[in-house]
Amino acid sequence: MLQRVHMTIGLLAVLVFVISGQIMAHHKPAMHELGADVRMMYLSRHVYLLGAALVNLILGIYLRLKPRGPMRVLQQIGSVLIVLSPFLLLSAFLSEPDLGLAGRSWKSLFGIVTLFGGTIFHWISAFGSKESKEISG
């Protein structure tokens, strides 16, 4: 179930990434006419969306929940955080860039923090498992 959620969110986020690229390509005024700070804000939020999309896609492919216990709970918390990330980052893409560097808000911060935090929770949940020992040698 959670694996399917990640796959769906990941695919939708890739689509949003492509659409956000088209928004930038057809932006009026053209991107090259904008100030460097506004361009950087668009491009960074665009790339953040791609990162969130790819993490969700990978979890959609490879996620295997632990049978039970605290490591499973960590995985579930991590997954909730990672699923939230593209929504926050899309909101940041739509609202922050036009204001330049002054446009930075909690949306992009929380979008990156949820992506990072969720990834860390998944990473921690792998310690001590049979799979992590197989990977490390």
**Does position 79 have pLDDT exceeding 80, yes or no?**
yes
Helices (H) and strands (E) in the chain, counts: 5, 0
Q: How does pLDDT run across 110-135, given as a tens digit for each residue? A: 999 999 999 999 999 988 566 555 55
**Does position 23 have pLDDT exceeding 60, yes or no?**
yes
DSSP-derived secondary structure letter, 68 = S
3-state SS class at 128? coil
Most confident of 36-40, 48-52, 92-96, 104-108: 48-52
Q: How many residues does the chain have?
A: 137
- Rounded to an integer, the average pLDDT of 44-56 is 96
- Rounded to an integer, the average pLDDT of 85-99 is 91
**Does position 136 have pLDDT exceeding 60, yes or no?**
no
**Does position 42 have pLDDT exceeding 80, yes or no?**
yes
Dihedral over Cα of 108, 111, 112, 117: its sign: positive
Distance of alpha carbon 21 from alpha carbon 63, whole angstroms? 29
Mean pLDDT check: name the lowest of 2-11, 82-91, 119-128.
Answer: 119-128
Distance of alpha carbon 65 from alpha carbon 115, whole angstroms? 18
Distance of alpha carbon 86 from alpha carbon 91, whole angstroms? 8
Mean pLDDT check: name the lowest of 2-16, 18-32, 113-127.
Answer: 18-32
